[in-house]
Structure 1
């Protein structure tokens, strides 16, 4: 890591123009002709596509007082980790885009992008920066100031969302590098550590000086705790208070299959909408919130079984509970006046969409609105913007066309939404008479709650794996059992076990890809499975149809003691296509 002094580099406009060429986007008429850029909105709301596919894709965004847009890139490169966008001809489309800020540790998970008091604030996994904005120049021409450095380095849940209280304080969330403070993280049955030591530096929100450079975590004050992962965070200026929508924990069934079945793991725990005051404790890692029982229950790592409430009532309770694993990734309290009055001071939430509800359909992938009054929800949550996935049912997150991520309000009160898959950005405005707005305009959106993207799955009818396991068992007997044995334990010599094999279940990054690739390409040793050497030949099975490979892998990944998500025919099709184009070699773990 470079010193703080070296991080504070001057970013003159001339240097940016030399290193980053502004380019004019294709007007994207085909996408512009698609009604509302593919979004489904309440009556008299309209969406304009600001940019159809931002190179480097997008995470969060902010809009300056002159309408310039600043975007945190999902895939930064040497040209910079951020992008600045401007509409020069007034057609609503960004026609000038410049990458900027070649700061250290750009990563792929940096989160926040905020405009505050004339500065652009943004974060990486480990750092928080700011640079002064100049309305006359698209790219900020002030020095890049390193305000905060996290010396603990990158880890899971390492987002750095930001909020400001208007009194000179900056609030930063520090996610916990753990699912539930287990002795062995994400190892089935591993117990939780009593008096979780991670809470000293993680799993909470810290308060810092918003202008002081060179701060570290020890220089801040722990403002709140018991929050495993927070990405959606905003200061409510009307209530003068901090609010978050926190991610719940994962993998109840995978880690504790005796206490929780797959359906319980898909519908629990809730994503919690919380009002956070100084000293708040939301209960992580000891408790999670059950959205069906409306109770905080004891986590299984600490003796819970899905029924024990323990001392859950003493912790900070959510003001609203959303369905499990929807992934709340941005929160915005609307203070504009372009939208009808009922939206003013209410909360917009961007749900990025679930990844781990298998074998049930994934959920989320929409922008939600929650009306507010006196600091609390004044009604049920509403579907404000939908249509991101481009399909009725999402089995795997990779199938979703778009996944909403960031929210920002423009100077005219319009709402900007970014998404992570293509880097598409929409501007949503209200085109009707605000004084004639009625709830009748919301009926179409309310009806969408009955679709699989929003409704709680039925334990039997919506189990997508049930039809696959029977066919998978037949395929396994025909093509796999001869070598790997009917019990999946291999022969102890030439043919490795499938039970507990990292080649089958995948690690945190490879997951399904390696198993699909081995089925299609085959594999020739020597290899190691569970740290034991094997040396034989696995013939390729590319003669099987995509659906058949999906079925047999789903069977293997959910038998012999394995407990992993299902594989879809579409995922197999994508890997098969990639192999034909690139012909990569299977890498050994």
Structure 2
């Protein structure tokens, strides 16, 4: 296995001899983990590495950037950091990092884990009982950790294999209980179990067959190798897509923050406005017990009306409740499309007492709230007492996006993804855009922390990244669009974004895309065919992998398809020839 190692020894050399002797003596006497607790005066970065935090919380950037960028992460009991890469390569899909001189910055970074499957969805990363568990899109692996070696030197064990193959919503988040069980979510390859996925107006399938193998959480043996889904137990159902999942040891129960469905307006424009599609459905914070049914694909939770409503695929219109009340209701309904991508119950003692056993949630940020501002891009905190949320959710860490108004998701400088707690109780946060990792710690008198320290963070809820948009005033498209731009804004902007750069994760860019550009007739054909026939499954755009669903747009007229393709080919830095209605007509005829 090839490893790439970056080691900075200058910091250690600059240390006074007495300091080096103290560190060596601590290792000999108490072991490596003691060193983690030696730096009581860990220094914060200027402006806390760009983050806004409550009171005397501080932050330092432990890793400034990873070439493969980051998804989830885990911190070992000795302080070593393990990160799941978003874009693995032939060297490896994971990174191990160590702070050898204990100044708060990782100075040894090693890439490892050259396993076969490396799609962009692969997400799980947890340290459990001395093992590092991590997942790709279709597999869950583990390897034994050795505190004497940064890179795990134990064999790579395949614990679970998903025989379905890669598909939409194919993350594999992981959680572990106290009885030897591993919990894995199986996302549904569908938006709402339509007869034709993501085709406008297509009805939902009654008695959705996907629920037999998707759209839920399965329980497995945490140590048994080579398991498949059939070897596990379906623990909960009615969950279209789960990425944020954790076991709460305070009440010995599983919790998730589930992604809501997408595209209410795009798929049912006669029933839903752009504003309704931007603010619904909720991202649901749920307590999951064996047998829990959350109601997907039949129902979604509306955070404005505070109730579950019937999905339009099954006859809903934004008002009908049907039998929604009989399904599991959220503990908290977060705003739509914030993309909850990790959940962590805090069990440490470094933070003020109010954080003990509470829940941190990393919101990756929305992609499909256009023509309204995108939202999220922060870490929330939910106080818990006696196993139940108390009070409102709070903004714990903000500033990742680098701006208060995000028009297109690619405008966000950073997007929080993974959460992990260090051995000293610090909170680590990973970012998918730069591959950055922050360490957040408390630097004040814990007994004096209270509402006064939270007030400034509460005020941030009035910023566009958090505030429910005004239906008229915050609509970026009002009075501005016509022709191909109008069609793009209606059908394309939620995925490919206002600036045509996509979200860098699920939805590919149109800017400079080989699927879009070109001047000759035959070079226009791929774009026309994709609009008419749709596209599903793994694709490569500008040398990066994507795996989502591009719905058919054959319902558009030849003129409308020509107009929107012409708009795309002449904007976003593209400079290609126009597409005519006759060219679209010719290709449409060939498809029949």
Does the TM-score normalized on the shorter chain lie above 0.5?
Answer: yes
| Aligned-partner Cα distance in 2 for 1:461–1:515 | 33
Q: SS of 1:468's equivalent? A: coil
Tell me, yes or no, if the aligned pair for 1:500 and 1:562 is still in contact at 8 Å.
Answer: no
Return the offset for 1:438: 1.6
Return the offset for 1:500: 8.8
Deviation sequence 1:5-38 (CA, Å, 0-9, x none): xxxxxxxxxxx5xx2131136999xx98541111
Q: SS of 1:446's equivalent? A: helix
Return the offset for 1:511: 5.8
Q: SS of 1:130's equivalent? A: strand
Deviation sequence 1:439-476 (CA, Å, 0-9, x none): 1001110000000000000000000011422xx45xx7
Q: Does 1:268 align with 2:280?
A: yes
Return the offset for 1:284: 0.2
| Aligned-partner Cα distance in 1 for 2:492–2:237 | 37
Aligned to 1:211: 223
Aligned to 2:236: 224
| Aligned-partner Cα distance in 2 for 1:430–1:532 | 51
Deviation sequence 1:248-293 (CA, Å, 0-9, x none): 0000000000000000000000000000000000000000000011
Kindly tell me: are residues 108 and 499 of structure 1, through their superposed partners in 2, closer, same or farther at Cα, counting changes over 3 Å? Answer: closer
Kindly tell me: are residues 206 and 431 of structure 1, through their superposed partners in 2, closer, same or farther at Cα, counting changes over 3 Å? Answer: same
| Aligned-partner Cα distance in 2 for 1:69–1:147 | 22
Aligned to 1:572: 572
Q: Does 1:318 align with 2:304?
A: no
- Of 89, 113, 130, 1:77 maps to 89
| Aligned-partner Cα distance in 2 for 1:163–1:468 | 47
Aligned to 2:520: 524
Q: Does 1:360 align with 2:372?
A: yes
Tell me, yes or no, if the aligned pair for 1:499 and 1:562 is still in contact at 8 Å.
Answer: no
- Of 317, 330, 342, 1:305 maps to 317
Tell me, yes or no, if the aligned pair for 1:499 and 1:561 is still in contact at 8 Å.
Answer: no
TM-score if structure 2 supplies the norm length?
A: 0.80
Aligned to 1:20: 3
| Aligned-partner Cα distance in 2 for 1:391–1:287 | 34
| Aligned-partner Cα distance in 2 for 1:52–1:246 | 29
Q: SS of 1:361's equivalent? A: coil
Return the offset for 1:104: 1.4
| Aligned-partner Cα distance in 2 for 1:561–1:90 | 58
Tell me, yes or no, if the aligned pair for 2:45 and 2:60 is still in contact at 8 Å.
Answer: no
Return the offset for 1:391: 1.2
Aligned to 2:204: 192
Matches within 5 A, 1:31-430: 34-430=46-442
Return the offset for 1:54: 1.3
| Aligned-partner Cα distance in 2 for 1:362–1:142 | 43
Q: SS of 2:93's equivalent? A: strand
Return the offset for 1:514: 6.4
Return the offset for 1:532: 11
Aligned to 1:455: 467
Return the offset for 1:373: 1.4
| Aligned-partner Cα distance in 2 for 1:437–1:498 | 46
Tell me, yes or no, if the aligned pair for 1:25 and 1:94 is still in contact at 8 Å.
Answer: no
Q: SS of 2:305's equivalent? A: coil
| Aligned-partner Cα distance in 2 for 1:27–1:509 | 42
Kindly tell me: are residues 241 and 385 of structure 1, through their superposed partners in 2, closer, same or farther at Cα, counting changes over 3 Å? Answer: same
| Aligned-partner Cα distance in 1 for 2:445–2:415 | 30
RMSD over aligned Cα atoms:
3.3
Unaligned runs of 5+ in 2: 12-42, 533-555, 576-586
Aligned to 2:477: 465
Kindly tell me: are residues 428 and 531 of structure 1, through their superposed partners in 2, closer, same or farther at Cα, counting changes over 3 Å? Answer: closer
Tell me, yes or no, if the aligned pair for 2:96 and 2:151 is still in contact at 8 Å.
Answer: yes
| Aligned-partner Cα distance in 2 for 1:522–1:112 | 39
| Aligned-partner Cα distance in 2 for 1:96–1:182 | 49
| Aligned-partner Cα distance in 1 for 2:61–2:531 | 54
| Aligned-partner Cα distance in 2 for 1:511–1:180 | 25
Aligned to 2:540: none
| Aligned-partner Cα distance in 1 for 2:287–2:106 | 36
Kindly tell me: are residues 318 and 498 of structure 1, through their superposed partners in 2, closer, same or farther at Cα, counting changes over 3 Å? Answer: closer
| Aligned-partner Cα distance in 1 for 2:105–2:223 | 34
Deviation sequence 1:389-445 (CA, Å, 0-9, x none): 111210110000000000000000000000000000000000001111121001110
Matches within 5 A, 1:433-452: 433-452=445-464
Kindly tell me: are residues 307 and 500 of structure 1, through their superposed partners in 2, closer, same or farther at Cα, counting changes over 3 Å? Answer: closer
Q: SS of 1:466's equivalent? A: coil
| Aligned-partner Cα distance in 1 for 2:295–2:179 | 28
Tell me, yes or no, if the aligned pair for 2:310 and 2:324 is still in contact at 8 Å.
Answer: yes
Unaligned runs of 5+ in 1: 1-15, 481-486, 489-496, 535-555, 577-587
| Aligned-partner Cα distance in 2 for 1:264–1:500 | 15
| Aligned-partner Cα distance in 1 for 2:70–2:530 | 42
Q: SS of 1:445's equivalent? A: helix
Q: SS of 2:137's equivalent? A: coil
| Aligned-partner Cα distance in 2 for 1:306–1:318 | 18
Deviation sequence 1:76-115 (CA, Å, 0-9, x none): 1111110000000011000001111101102221111000
Tell me, yes or no, if the aligned pair for 2:97 and 2:150 is still in contact at 8 Å.
Answer: yes
Tell me, yes or no, if the aligned pair for 1:254 and 1:563 is still in contact at 8 Å.
Answer: no
Tell me, yes or no, if the aligned pair for 2:371 and 2:489 is still in contact at 8 Å.
Answer: no
